[in-house]
Structure formats: structure tokens, C-alpha cells
Structure 1
């Protein structure tokens, strides 16, 4: 199917190209846009929930956008809110980047090239390359990276990128295979000064290539036979603008420069009653902290949404490669560095896929068997941040379950060492190529609306009972439920030994048994942030120290590490919000769930890493009155190749 870019018809529709152009025009008319002004980010400011819920098709609605502006001549930064209906600047706020806790807007795409050009022109860098025997550095790749925060006086009130160097042997060569160890440069992007250049060590530059194209890998195997996915009668979902309806599910698809894919007003219908489940779902931040204490890598702790923007770096997806089957695509529109609209074609993929058996039972008395196959609706996008590629896949199942699966792939980040070097903090994955240990810690934001606005969160553990009058034989176990009443009680760790989950219960909706309808967050926990409490990355990524946070809804609490994690001292976001210790019972609650792999690299991850999967489930618990997938058709009855009810052809 073709991609869609609809006119604005609903308050939650993403910003269009015309609206982004209008944001820039309004600010220019107000005298806020000069030759040196750039736009790190432009985002939709979603209307208040009451306005959204009250909206009816065809009725007018408010429309606002938030623009972050950066003066590349002076370093001054500001936030502006533009009223798109009135065509006016609704508010203007200068950002104080010179005072603790500092913070900078996200990195501009043009700043990567500016940083690289400044480093390559520096005589000290050129001398360092010559010392390594590199006289022609036309193919050198200077990789600018966010510098973290270490309260360095030389970096205060400066917009800084920290650059490492890699080599290529030819134009198409992968630079990540050839790190220039011990060479690092700090660049002031505003003044254009190379603040510091460190050159230490004479480690050989690894020579083995890391290319994965057909020419480098060789002939593809010919043993795999085709698998064809066809839907001869078309798809089962319907798309109307940004609204998607599929079986019992209904939701809206959004996209923005920072988070990428967002989902809105997710509801599930049972027995003709449509009930809300999640008001808004997204993955608004992730941090990638490295565990190597060497001077060249101890500072690496990327905030891929807040520093680099997941949506602005998203991929255009290709049929047959990124997506398989009968596909509906959505285009995405973001603002480029100049504040002009930039369309990313086919950025979000929507399709159905088979998912094995959903339920089955064979009657042992009669031999009669009933089985129904599972199917899921997939909504996904991919983004590339430097060497890593991340896919975010939201799955909707016929039994009322929602799943988010994050897929980490791409090229592991490496340094160099003498071949055969052992390190407790890195693994040699190719001769002389060391990949440091690191983590990918995603944070999902789940603005819940289970059966209505008022919800309460409960923590549920499975516990064994001691032998006694209530458990004379020692076999009994039960569940223990703890209500998370305040934000101070709701920063939680998962506990696999107790099969810990969290229930979001409705205050206002009950099932046929008289119980409060609920949805259950089922984690697949790994380690939280492994950096020490005193580490600067811990202060900046405090959200990653817990698997779950629960907050009372506030429209401005959008990003778990705060609005500007780039060069920020820390403390913003979840730790600051939860210090208010707001009441969480029978109110509008937001769940923030941290998950993701801790990566101990291995040779099998080179030269490209097989997908590492992580994620979680949201599944109904008493939200429905019975199995909502009982009425699925018998697959044998729909086979086109065999007699009705007598399918033996595996179709």
C-alpha cells in the first residue's frame, strides 16, 4: 500500500509540512529568526486531554507547536510556543545554558560535519595521524559524539562535541572496523575552537574490514526456499487518516522528531463495549552507557532521543526487507536544521502477521479438537543513531495483549588494542578490535487510561506461605498485592524470583464478576543502570536506576531524563517530578518502564550484530469478561485448497 500524509483532521494528528513551515514563518515575522538561527527540534504540543476527548469530527480544535531555537553565532538557545491557529508566538523562554545544571538543545545534523571539519583542520590532529603513518586522511572519518557531563570548567557555557577518529580504506568501507585508538578532540561548536586534543598510545589501527555488502561477504547461500506471505482478500485493518481499526482494537498513529513513533487513544472492544486502555504510548528516551573506564570511552553515555532525536534519524522502510507482507506505510514529517519541513517517506510500517497458535484444546473423551491461530497487528519504525540501528515494534494481539519489542542491531562500537589483549571491560571480537561492555536502557512512557481516567497501580508478587495452620503440607503459595499510593513508593525494581508484575486497575469500570477491570505490565527485566551512584551518568540517567516509575499525569512531564539531557548535570525528569510525592490513588497515572539488554559483546556480533530483542507486555487481567478470542474462525474452514473442515495442506 502507499504511504499516507493526511491533512490535519484530529487534535492528535502529527505536525504536517505546512504546519512546520508556518512555525518558522510565524517566528520569522516576530523577528526571532536570523541568518544564524537553527532549529534543533520542533514538536507538536498536544491539546489538553479534555479537549481531545470532547472533539467531534469536523469541529475546530487548538493546534500548538513547540520550537527549540539555537543561535549558532552566539550559542543562545530558546523555546517558543507557536499558536498555529492564531498564527502568533504564544510564549518565548530563553534557556539558561550557562548556569547549573546547564543543558543544551539536541545536536544539529549540520554540527556533525562542522565538528569533523574543525578537527581535520587542526594541526595537532594532522600530526597525530602522521605519527601513526597516515599521510592521506581524505578517507578519515571523524565521529562527533555527545560529551556527557563532568563539570569541566573548560566546557561550561559551551556547546561541545567530543570526536573520535576512524579510518576507511575506500569510500564504501565501514569506518567502525578501523578505530584510531588514543586520539580524541573536544570542539566548541560556537567559537569553532578545538578546545583539547589528546593523543596517547601507539596501538596499531586494525586492518581487517567490517563490510557486510555482497561484494565483501561473497555469494549468498542458495539453500533457503522462498516463503511467500499473501493476503488474497486484502488486509483486515482499516486506516482513516491516522486512525487504525483492527478487530477489537482502535488507536491513532503519531510521529515526531524526538520520540519517533507514538500511539494514541488505544481502546479495546468486547461485546460491543469500547473501553480505553492507554491514552498515549511511546519510547521517549534511551541511554547507552559504556562500562569501559579508559580515558577514551569512560564518558560515553548516549541519550539517543534527547541528544540525537530518534525520529529525525528514522529510516525510510523498504518492502521485502524492513517489512514483509501487505503493508500500509505512514510518512513522517520533521523540521530540518533550518526549521523547514522534511518528509521521511514510509517511516512507519503497519501490517498483519501470523503468530502461531492462540488457543487449542483436544477433548480426551471424544477426540474432538478445537484450535485457533493467533495473528498480530504490527506498527513499527527503525532509526539509525551512528553505528547502532534500533527498531521499535508495537504488537497488538487478538486476546487483548499489547507488546513493545525493541530490536537493537547495527555495528558494535569498538576501540583498538594489540591483538590478543584481554580486558575485563571489553571483548576482542576481531583481531585487535575491542568492543566495550555497555547497556541499552530504553524507557517507555505509558499514559494509562484503563476503563477510564481514574486508575490505581498495584504491585503483585508471588509468595510461598510458611508451614503452619494455613499451609500444613507446605505446598501453598499465593499472591501479595501492594498498592503504590504515592510517587515516593512507586520507584520499583522488578523481581523475577517473585514473578513481579504491576496492575493498573480502573476505578470506574468493573467486569461481570464485580471486580475492577485491569491491565498488567509484565516486565522482562535485565539489569538497571550498572554505573555507580556517584557516577555522573547516574545523575543524568536516574530514570534508568529503576524498572518502574509511576507519576501523576502532568502535560509537561514528557521526557524521563528531562527536556535537555545534552551536557546536563543531572537531576531532571523523573527524580525531580517524583520529589513532589503526589498521590497516585484513583487518579490519572503514567507508567515509565525501563528495559533493555546489557551487552557483553561476542565475536558473533561482528561485523554486524544480530538483533538483540527486549521489551514487555501489557495484558488484560479482568479487563474482559472472558477470552475475547473465542469467536475466531476455524482455520481449516477458510482454506482455499481443501474441502471445508478437512484441511491437510498446511495452508
Structure 2
């Protein structure tokens, strides 16, 4: 459908090209300049709320530049509408951290490692003379303030072998071999070669199995068409209305989410995730990937395929991103949207009359997938007919391995192949707008009542409410034993019972960050030490580990912001929710891992006056026979 531009639309190819042209004209781009990221700058909320179709839209982009010859990095804001450079500042690596990793840096560092005599000698010591098929995996290095790495842009590289070009390298780790590469000096600055653990030889290929023939096809059809409508980036479905965005860092984003004509969330996204490993071996004790901030979830997103990633009657959204040189690159079918049946919505059989009523549930699915090295991550946002929102993160792909057997920090999953224990800690950013901009957050626990005059038979239990009134008290842990949830209520809007309209964040908690408090990763990923943080909205507070987590010493993001201890009651607040699996790999996770699910629900709590799905149609009624006379098995 034709539509007028909106302030929250994703960047177009023309706008990305214009941004690059402005920087070239300003003399900020040379032959060795690269573009680690080009991200949209969203206008202030008041501008977005006041926008009407046909209004002029001003489009801006925040660009990170890196000179690969000198290591100098800068951040610029470009007005693509007016063709103007609005701001430019050089980054201070020791203070700010470093820009995200470029695609070209993977290949460049791998080539440097393969050409290094020390690496070649380490391979020969292991009896490997032909390393043409060796896979060198360059990885973000963490931060440890080591003199050798100080003031350098670095990747650490591990080595894996392949038997042929299509062989899975993750099955053949070269244990005890670690290389550190200076990406600006273009040299390998250190090689660690220790131990004589044999490289596992059994292949880890997962294709080529004879397919089973017992599964019969399931066909999903919607002969009358879909129930949603799409106008540009705006989606409308069964009381829901929202806008879909996409950017290089977060990937899929959702904006201006409303239900039944009332706002629920101003913005929702996967703002960061960290994957810390628990193996103290020197070639793995530094591993702690920030898959959004260091690698960019959106830049690594997949082009989705019908019948594989998405099943049913599908609407796809394409994306446009900037490559390492700042030029626009199309990513077709980056986002998949479809409806799916979800079982029973509600049911009751009247025991007096025998009459039975049942209605089917349905949900709208908006999803994307990103591949970061060996792992694949799917982010599935579900919208339900009753006003519930759910985010489900799906982790799959190939587990990261070393050579060896069982040990306290990993499990043998194939002969001679060990997979270390690790965590996948996601952080969703929920900028709430529950029936208005002013909200208050409360923590609700179930508690037992002591036996006594008020509870003579000891059966009573109730709830307790803790108001999260300031940022200093709003960093919280989940408590499944108390059924802990967090309620976000409107400060200005009540339901027919006179109570604030609200939504309830229902966690599905696992362990928070398990590294020791004095570990480097505990400072760099401080957001992962709590299940919930609540902050007062500020447009510059976007990412929970800060703008540039690569080689950052820590303390940025949520710990820095919450130190302001801003009041939260009746405010524009943001919830940061941490969740995800702690993974001790199993043999069943090899050679490719079945999906590991994690996530949370955001459910209406007094947001409606009663069940909003009472008007669902009864699709079970026979359309071919008179009422009460159906014997045709339709």
C-alpha cells in the first residue's frame, strides 16, 4: 500500500547513500575510512506523537567511522533530509570503548594468522602440514588491561580444522592455540601454543542424513486471506496497532504499540545480549561476546525463507543496511510476519445444562533471525488476542567446542570434543506507555500469612507490593518461589473498578551473570547481574552495556545511568529485562543444537474492563447443516 513517510520508518537506501555523501563532502571519509555502523536517529517523542500523515519528516542517522590505518574512530550525526553534518566527535577508546567489528576485519585477521610463522610452527608441531582448509575464527577480545593489548584494536583468534570445504569446522578445534591480532598495525602480536590435546577427528556435519518418511505434511492455509493490514511500516491486527523497524545494531524493533486504541509500549527491542563462557582455560577464559554491541544483530540478520523460517501465509519486510564502506545493501525478507493458531483461548462446559463453549486462540508473529558465528538467534514477538505480548528468544546453531573430555567447566558431547558451560543473557528494552506517558512500576510477591488470629487454619496467602520509586531501588532479581512479577500502571487512567490500568511483566527467570563480581565481564556486562532494571527515560540511554562495549573497561550503561538515582513514580519509564539460558551442552546438542527457548510475557492487568475476547467467533460451528442437526462430520 502507498503510505506517507513516518519519522519512525527504517532508513532507506537513498538516505544511507545521502548520509555517506554528506560525510564525503565534509572531508570525513578517506580511502581507509570504514563505517562500523549507520543507525537511525529517532526524533523526540513529542515530535513523533504530533506527527500527522503528510507532515514533513526530518531524517537523521548516527554514523560511526573508523580509520583502519590509524585506528581513529568518530561518531557523527547527519541530517539526511537537509544534507548536513550536524555533529562530529572523535571517540576516546580508553573511555568510550571501540566501534563494532567490521566484516572485513574477520578475513584480514584470519589471513594475518595463517601467514604468521609462529602459527604455522604450532600447526606443524601438531602434525598439520596442509592448513589451506584451516578456519581461523577471530573473536572479540574482552577487556583485561593487559600491557600487550593496551591502546590497540584487537581480535583474538582460535583455530579449527576442516576435512573439506563443506566440513563443519566447529567439530575440529585446535586446542591450546590462541593468536592475538592488532587490526590497525596488521600484525599478530602474540601466539599462545600450549598442550598436546589431540584434535577431534569425527565430523560434525548435520546434513546428508536420510530423511524420515513418517511425518505427513501439515498445510496451513488462509483461503479468505490474512486478518492483518500493512501500510508501509505500520501493522494493524485485531485491536493491535504498531510500527515495525529494523536497524543494524538491534535488528528488529517495534514502535508505538497500542491495543484497543490505547498505548502500551512506545518502543520495544532486543537492546543487548552477552554470551559469557565459564571455562578458565587461557584460550577461553576471555570469551564474552556482546552480540548486539560488538557484532551487530541486524547486520548479521538472515534473509528468511518461506517454508523454512516461516510457515503459513507470510508478509515479509525487507531491510536496508550500510556495509563496511557506508554503502546501502538490501537485505530481502529480513522480517517475517504471519498469523498462527494457538490452541484454546477460553472454554467452559456448563455442568447444569451440558452446553459447552470454546474459542480458539490466535497470535500474530513478528520474527527475525541473526547468525553470529556458530550460533543462530531467533527473536519472535507474539501478539495475542487478549492483549498479551510475548518475546521468545530461540537459540540454536552449533555449540562452541574445545578438544578434550568431561571437566568441571564443560561436558564431552562427542568423542574427544568438549563444549564449555556458558550463558546467553538477553536484555530486552521496554519503553512503556501504559495508557499514557506517566507510569509507575511495582513489584508484586505472593507471601504466606503466619498462622494466627487472622489466619487460624494457616491456609491464607496474599500479595505484597513494593513500589520501585527510585532507580537505586529498581534493580531487581526475580523470585520464582514468590511468583514475583512487575506491574507497570498508568498514572492517569483507571478502569471501571477505579483501579489504574496496568500491564504485568511475567519473567521466566534463569541465573543472572555467574562470573565473580571482580571479573572483568561483571563490570562490562553489569546489566546481566539483575533480572530487571527500571530507569527514567532519556533519549541517549539506548544500550544497557553502553554505546561501545568492544574493549570497554566496564561501568557504562545501566550502572552509570542508575547512579543518578532519578525518581520513577508517575514518570516516563523504561524497563530493561534480562533473561536467557545457562547452558551445559548435551550430546543431544551435537552436531546442531535443537532450539533452546527463553523469554517473558507482558500481560494486561486491569488494562481492560473484562475479557476482551468474548466476541471471538465460534469456528467449530458447522456451516453446512442446520443448527443442532449436524451429522456430516464436516
- Sort the TM-score into its range (normalised by shorter chain): over 0.9
Task: For residue 61 of structure 1, report the CA deviation from its aligned partner.
Answer: 2.4
Aligned to 1:11: 7
1:632 & 1:352 partners in 2: Cα distance?
15
1:76: which partner in 2? Answer: 72
In 2, Cα distance between equivalents of 1:104 and 1:132: 35
Q: Is the 8 A contact 1:106 1:307 kept in 2?
A: yes
**1:131 shift after superposition:** 1.0
The Cα shift of 1:635 comes to 1.4
User: Residues of 1 paired with 2:552 and 2:179: CA distance?
Assistant: 20
Question: What's the CA shift string for 1:403-440, capped at 9, x where partnerless?
Answer: 000000000000002xxx33010000000000000000
Structure 1 pair 189–356 and aligned structure 2 pair: CA distance change class (3 A): same
Structure-to-structure mapping, 1:222-301, within 5 angstroms: 222-269=213-260, 274-301=261-288
Partner of 1:141: 135
Structure 1 residue 469 corresponds to structure 2 residue 453 = yes
Asked whether the equivalents of residues 406 and 418 of structure 2 are also in contact (C-alpha less than 8 Å), the reply is no
> CA offsets per residue over residues 361-400 of structure 1, 9 Å max, x none?
0000000010000000000000000000000000000011
Structure 1: how far apart are the matches of 2:388 and 2:631?
30
Is 1:150 matched with 2:140?
no
Q: Pick from 592, 610, 614 the counterpart of residue 626 of structure 1.
A: 610
Q: Is the 8 A contact 2:4 2:54 kept in 1?
A: no
Unaligned runs of 5+ in 1: none
* Whole-angstrom CA distance in 2 between matches of 1:444 and 1:624: 25
Superposition CA RMSD, Å: 1.3
| Contact residue 39 and residue 68 of structure 1 kept, 8 A | yes
Runs of 4+ in structure 1 over 3 Å off: 639-651
Q: Is the 8 A contact 1:252 1:265 kept in 2?
A: yes
Q: In the alignment, is residue 27 of structure 1 matched against residue 18 of structure 2?
A: no
Q: Which residue of 2 aligns with 1:455?
A: 439
User: Cα offset for 1:85?
Assistant: 1.7
Q: For the residues of structure 2 that align with 1:335 and 1:456, how far apart are their CA atoms?
A: 39
**Aligned position for 1:208:** 202
- Partner of 1:21, secondary structure, is helix
| Matched residue, 2:331 | 344
Contact 2:137–2:157 under 8 Å retained in 1: yes
Unaligned runs of 5+ in 2: none
Once the two structures are TM-superposed, the CA of residue 240 in structure 1 deviates from its matched residue by 0.4
**Equivalent residue runs for 1:193-204 within 5 Å:** 193-204=187-198
Residue pairs, 1:397-476, within 5 angstroms: 397-417=384-404, 421-476=405-460
Structure 2 match to 1:180: 174
Change (3 A) 1:466 1:113: same
* Cα distance in 1 between the residues matched to 2:526 and 2:289: 14
Distance in 1 of aligned mates of 2:155 and 2:272: 20
Q: Counterpart of 1:376?
A: 363
Residue aligning to 1:616: 600
- Provide, for residues 157-199 of structure 1, a one-character-per-residue CA deviation record: whole Å limited to 9, x for no partner: 1100000000000010000000000110000000011110011
In structure 2, how many angstroms separate the alpha carbons of the residues matched to 1:63 and 1:525? Answer: 39
Q: How many residues align?
A: 634
What's the CA shift for 1:473? 1.3
Give how far 1:62 is off: 2.2
Instruction: Report the equivalent of 2:493.
Output: 509
Alpha carbons 1:636, 1:646 under 8 Å: kept:
no
Instruction: Provide the residue aligned with 1:534 in structure 2.
Output: 518
Matched, 1:366 2:353: yes
Residue 524 of structure 2 is aligned to residue 550 of structure 1: no
1:609 Cα deviation (Å)?
Answer: 0.3
How far 1:8 sits from its partner (Å)? 6.7
User: What corresponds to 2:471 in structure 1?
Assistant: 487
Which TM-score applies when normalising by structure 2? 0.98
Distance 1:511 1:184, change over 3 A: same
TM-score, normalisation: structure 1 = 0.96
